[in-house]
Structure 1
Amino acid sequence: MTNMQQGGPAPQPWNHPRAGDEQLPRLNGWDVAVSAAAIVVAVAVASISAVAAFFWLLFLDYCPPETCSAENAWIAVCVALAVAALVTVMGGAVTIARIARHTVAWPVACGTLVLCAAACAIGFAGYVSATGI
């Protein structure tokens, strides 16, 4: 006795999605690899910038008030690193969500890397401007 004779649903091919199942597109390996590499590099850029900024501020021995402002240097570095960290965390979360949904994620990850590097560069420029180096 077959399913049709028993009143059950008709048999479906092995690759046919069941009712209610969403058919997700295939996950691209290169997309995951590029996205992961970009996020790892963004984290490395932010981390290296944080360590460098710590040493810049730590060894700011002499700062003549007429050409240098240690407070402005501190503010520039801290704001830039906070923005870089925020951008990296949010970009990483969006990238992971896009990978989980099997949508293209590399533009978000690469954008995260560019924005993180730009924030760190702006912080360095603010430090140089504040200290007069």
Structure 2
Amino acid sequence: MQPGGPREHPWNHPRAGDDQPPLNGWDVAVSAAALVVAVAVASISAVAGLFWLLFLDYCPPETCSAENAWIAVCVALAVAALATVIGGLVTIARIARRTIAWPVACGTLILCAGACAIGFAGYVSATGI
């Protein structure tokens, strides 16, 4: 190996991490905070949706549809969970590649919160509350 030349692995393969820039600390912090809030929103919405459906004691057929309420809550929670998982994976991949990840994480949070809000609106519409 020449002095001042590139570092080499014992088998003459370049190391994987030699050319990567350092992690951007604020990007990782903002991305992690957005993903934690997205998971919290989805979790709280799941518990709230479960209680809304469990305590839907009386649902007169003229103004209320328990089936539509169930569908609205379950579809919204499934979409929120799917968006959070996919957004989390894409965010982690972007952090690993040392590219800016906070827009993806914040978009994930917005999608998750939007799906939960639409599910709540669907529940209110279905039950006539």
When normalised by structure 2's length, the TM-score is 0.90
Q: For residue 69 of structure 1, what is the aligned residue in structure 2? A: 65
* Distance in 2 (alpha carbons) for counterparts of 1:49 and 1:17: 51
Q: For residue 41 of structure 2, what is the aligned residue in structure 1? A: 45
Q: For residue 125 of structure 2, what is the aligned residue in structure 1? A: 129
Shift in Å, 1:23: 1.2
Q: CA RMSD in A?
A: 1.5
Counterpart residue type for residue 40 of structure 1: V
Contact kept in structure 2, 1:57 and 1:74, CA below 8 Å: yes
> Which residue among 49, 52, 58 is the counterpart of 1:56?
52
Q: For residue 23 of structure 2, what is the aligned residue in structure 1? A: 27
Counterpart residue type for residue 56 of structure 1: W
Greater gyration radius: 1
Shift in Å, 1:126: 0.3
Shift in Å, 1:10: 3.1
Q: Which is further off, 21-30 or 116-125?
A: 21-30
Counterpart residue type for residue 125 of structure 2: S
Counterpart residue type for residue 89 of structure 1: V
What SS is found at the alignment partner of 2:46? Answer: helix
* Distance in 2 (alpha carbons) for counterparts of 1:17 and 1:34: 33
Which residues of 2 match residues 84-95 of structure 1 at below 5 A?
84-95=80-91
When normalised by structure 1's length, the TM-score is 0.87
* Distance in 2 (alpha carbons) for counterparts of 1:10 and 1:41: 50
1:103 matches 2:95: no
* Distance in 2 (alpha carbons) for counterparts of 1:96 and 1:17: 28
Uncovered stretches (5+) of structure 2, i.e. residues with no partner = none
Cα deviation digits, residues 27-73 of structure 1 (max 9, x gap): 11000000000000000000000000000001101101010000000
* Distance in 2 (alpha carbons) for counterparts of 1:54 and 1:48: 10
Uncovered stretches (5+) of structure 1, i.e. residues with no partner = 1-8
Q: Which is further off, 23-32 or 63-72?
A: 23-32
Shift in Å, 1:17: 5.7
* Distance in 2 (alpha carbons) for counterparts of 1:97 and 1:71: 39
Runs (4+) off by over 6 Å: none
Cα deviation digits, residues 81-125 of structure 1 (max 9, x gap): 000000001101111111111111100000000000000000000
